[in-house]
Amino acid sequence: MSEPRQSVDAVIIGAGFAGMYMLHALREQGFTAQVFEVADDVGGTWYWNRYPGARCDVESLEYSYSFSPELEQEWEWTERYATQPEILRYAQHVADRFDLRRDIRFNTRVQSADFDDTTTRWTVATDDGSRTSAQFLIMAVGCLSSTNLPNFPGRDTFAGASYHTGTWPHEGVDFTGKRVAVIGTGSSAVQSIPIIAQQAQHVTVFQRTPTYAVPAHNRPLAAAEVAEVKAHYRELRAANRLTMVGYGARSPRGETNASDASPAELEAEYERRWAAGGLSYLGGYADLLLNKDSNETAAEFIRRQIRATVNDPAVAELLTPTNVVGCKRLCVDTGYYATFNRPNVSLVDVSQQPIEEITPRGVRVAGVDYEVDCIVYATGFDAMTGSLLKINANGPEISLQQAWEAGPRTYLGLSVHGLPNMFTISGPGSPSVLTNMITSIEQHVEWIRDCVVAMRDKGLHRIEATEQAQDEWVDYVNMVADMTLFPTCNSWYLGANVPGKPRVFMPLLGFAPYEEQCKQVAADGYRGFALV
Ligand code: N01
C-alpha cells in the first residue's frame, strides 16, 4: 500500500465511483491527489453491500462510466441489472486500467480536516497518524454509506448472529437450516428476502411500512442489444444527460398527464411498463409525482398486482402500501411478493406496535417473542449526510457539524459556506440519489475539475460559497420539492428514517436543469462563490 503524501493539490475521501473518477480527472490535468479509503479496496457502496441478491436497479449498460469510450467498449456487462460482484469487478477493473491504486491509501479513515486560512490549505488527519496538507478537500464519501442500525433495547444481548445489509460479511452467510429475522422492507430487504427464504428454515419479516415494488424482469444481455448500445454509446450518454434522472433515454418518459388519460389508456400504459420492468414504471406519465390523483392510479395498479400475487388476503393486505408511490424510493424486485406465499415465510406488522426489544433469543413485538438464530438488519442508511458528518471538517470559523446543525445546507450540493476549498460530490442539494448516481458523479467530478483548473489558470487559491447564494439555493431545492409529492412520506430523502435527524428534503429533483444551472454558474465566473 502506498504511503500517503504529505502535500498534494487535493485530498479525496472515498474510493467508490466518485473518488476514483475524481482522482483520474485531477491527474489528467496535472494535479496531485491523495485518496483515503476505509475499505481495503475500491468500490464504495459495491464493496460493502454484499447481501444476497444485491444488484443495481439502474440497467448495467447505463450504470457505468461514460468518460472513457475505450472503457465503455471493452467492458462486457452480462445481465440487464448487474449483480454486486459484477459491479465490484468493474470498479476493480477501472482501478487497474487507470492505475488508480498507487494514489489510494486503503484501510485508512480520515478523522479530521482543518482549514488554515493563512495558507488556504486543509490539513487532513487519518487514524494511522498521518497528516496530509492539501489545497482542496473533496468529499467522495457516498450518499448511502453510513449504516442506520436502530437502537432497539437489548440489541446487543442477542445470542445469535446479526448482520446489516450494508456491511455484509465478505465470506457470505449460509442460512441453511436457520430461523432468520429480517427487519425492514426497503430495496435491500426486497432483494435479499426472496434469496434468504430459499435457504433458511424460516424467515420472519418485520415490516414497519409496506413497499411498492415493480418487477425487474432481469435477464442476460443479448449480444445484439449490447452491440447496438455500444455502437451508439455517445448518443445514449448525451441523451441520458438531458433527462430528469440521468438514465433511461432508451425508454422515454411519457409527456402527457395521467389526469388526461382514460381508465383504459392508464391500464394499458401501466401494463406495458410493468411488463417491461424496472424503474421506468413511474415514467409513464408526466404528472405521477406531481398530482395525488394521478399518482393514485399508478399506485392502485401495483396494489392490484400484490393482491393477485399473494395468496393469503390478510398477508396481501399487510403488504399493500397506501402512501404515494415513488415518494419513497420505488423498489425493483424478483419474486418479492410471491415469497410471502412460501410456507417458511411470515410477516409481522410493526407499524402500530414497534419492535419492543431484541432478546438473547430473538425479536419481541407486542409481548410476542419470535425466536430466531440470525437477525438481518435491512434498516438502511443515515443517508446523504451521515458519512460527511463523521468527518470532522473544520472551516476557519465553523465546523461542518455546526453548519448543518439544523439540516444540510449547500450551494449546488457542491459546496458549503464556511468551509472553503471543500467540495462534496453528490452532496445534499444536488440530484444525486434521485438519478443514475454515476451520471451525477461524472457531472460533479467534471464541474469540480473545471473549477480547480480555472482557479489555477487565474492564480486563485480560495473558493467559498457565499451565504446568500447558499440560502437562495436551499430555498430553491425546497421550492422544487414542495411542487411534488416527494415530501409526503417519511422517507430517507427527508431524513425521517433516523430518529432525531432534522427533516429536510435533501436531494434536488431534476438532473438536466441542474446540470444547466451548474454550467451557467461556471460560465458566469463562478457566480455565488467568493474567490480569492
Ligand atoms: O434502506 P431503506 P435500504 N423499526 O431505508 C425499516 C438504495 N438501494 O437499504 O420505511 C422497523 O430503504 C424501514 O421502515 P420505514 C436505494 O436508493 C438500491 O433498503 O422507515 N423498521 C425500511 O423498511 C434505497 O432506497 C438498491 O418505515 C425499520 C427499511 O428498514 C436505499 O439504497 C438496493 C426501523 C430501510 O429501508 C436504501 O435502501 C438497495 C425500525 N426502527 C439499496 N428503522 C438497488 O439498486 C428502519 N426500518 C436495487
Nearest Cα residue to 340 out of 307, 302, 380 = 307
Using CA atoms, how far apart are residues 464 and 178, in angstroms rounded to an integer? Answer: 54
Alpha-carbon torsion 376, 379, 383, 389, what sign? negative
Alpha-carbon torsion 96, 47, 426, 111, what sign? negative
Q: Which atom of ligand 1 is nearest to the CA of 56?
A: 45
Q: What's the grid cell of residue 297?
A: 392510479
Are 119 and 405 in contact, with CB atoms under 8 Å apart?
A: no
Would the pLDDT of 2 be above 70?
no
List, chain by chain if needed, residues with CB within 6 Å of any ligand 1 atom: 55-57, 144, 150, 165, 183-189, 191, 208-209, 329, 332, 350, 354-355, 378-381, 433, 492, 497
Q: Residue 349: CB partners within 8 Å, gap ≥ 6? A: 207, 318
21 DSSP β-pair partners: none
Integer-rounded Cα radius of gyration of the chain: 23
pLDDT in tens, 44-83: 999 999 999 999 999 999 999 999 999 999 999 999 999 9
Nearest Cα residue to 351 out of 183, 153, 180, 158 = 183
Give residue 166 CA to ligand 1 midpoint distance, Å.
Answer: 10
Nearest Cα residue to 192 out of 220, 164, 217, 152 = 164
Q: Which atom of ligand 1 is nearest to the CA of 329?
A: 25
Q: Which of 208, 211, 353, 376 to mutate to test the pocket of ligand 1 (most atoms within 8 A of CB)?
A: 208
Share of the chain above pLDDT 90, in %: 98
Overall average pLDDT of the 340-369 stretch: 98
pLDDT value at residue 337? 98
Residue bearing the CA closest to ligand 1, atom 16? 187
pLDDT value at residue 363? 98
Residues of the chain with CATH 3.50.50.60: 6-146+382-461
Would the pLDDT of 3 be above 80?
no
pLDDT value at residue 1? 56
Give residue 490 CA to ligand 1 midpoint distance, Å.
Answer: 11
Where residue 4 falls among pLDDT bands split at 50, 70, 90? Answer: confident
Where residue 146 falls among pLDDT bands split at 50, 70, 90? Answer: very high
Spell out the alpha helix ranges (H) of 53-169: 69-74, 84-97
Using CA atoms, how far apart are residues 189 and 242, in angstroms rounded to an integer? Answer: 32
Using CA atoms, how far apart are residues 431 and 213, in angstroms rounded to an integer? Answer: 22
Give residue 236 CA to ligand 1 midpoint distance, Å.
Answer: 31
Using CA atoms, how far apart are residues 509 and 327, in angstroms rounded to an integer? Answer: 12
Would the pLDDT of 288 be above 70?
yes
Overall average pLDDT of the 307-336 stretch: 98
Q: Which atom of ligand 1 is nearest to the CA of 490?
A: 20
Using CA atoms, how far apart are residues 10 and 121, in angstroms rounded to an integer? Answer: 10
pLDDT in tens, 86-109: 999 999 999 999 999 999 999 999
- What burial class does residue 171 get, using C-beta atoms within 10 Å of its C-beta: 0-12 exposed, 13-18 middle, 19+ buried? exposed
Q: Which of 330, 379, 434 to mutate to test the pocket of ligand 1 (most atoms within 8 A of CB)?
A: 379
Give residue 136 CA to ligand 1 midpoint distance, Å.
Answer: 33
Q: Residue 196: CB partners within 8 Å, gap ≥ 6? A: 52, 175, 180, 182, 203, 376
Q: Which amino acid is at 440?
A: S
For the chain, give the mean pLDDT: 97
pLDDT in tens, 5-32: 899 999 999 999 999 999 999 999 999 9
Q: Which of 57, 187, 432 to mutate to test the pocket of ligand 1 (most atoms within 8 A of CB)?
A: 187
Where residue 161 falls among pLDDT bands split at 50, 70, 90? Answer: very high
Give residue 218 CA to ligand 1 midpoint distance, Å.
Answer: 21
Length of the chain: 532
pLDDT in tens, 255-281: 999 999 999 999 999 999 999 999 999
Q: C-alpha distances in angstroms, 185 versus 208, 350, 435, 495?
A: 8, 11, 21, 17
Give residue 190 CA to ligand 1 midpoint distance, Å.
Answer: 9
DSSP string, 477-521: HHHHHHTSSGGGS--GGGTTTSTT------SPS-HHHHHHHHHHH
* Domain covering 6-146+382-461: architecture: 3-Layer(bba) Sandwich (3.50)
Q: What's the grid cell of residue 185?
A: 422492507
Query: What region, left, alpha or beta, does residue 519 occupy, with left being phi > 0 and alpha being psi -120 to 50 degrees?
Result: alpha
Give the sheet arrangement for strand 368-371, strand by strand. 355-359, 362-365, 368-371
pLDDT in tens, 109-119: 999 999 999 99
Give residue 380 CA to ligand 1 midpoint distance, Å.
Answer: 4
The H or E element that residue 476 is part of is helix 467-482
pLDDT in tens, 189-234: 999 999 999 999 999 999 999 999 999 999 999 999 999 999 999 9
3-state SS string over 198-225? HHECEEEEEECCCCCEEECCCCECCHHH
Q: Which atom of ligand 1 is nearest to the CA of 152?
A: 41
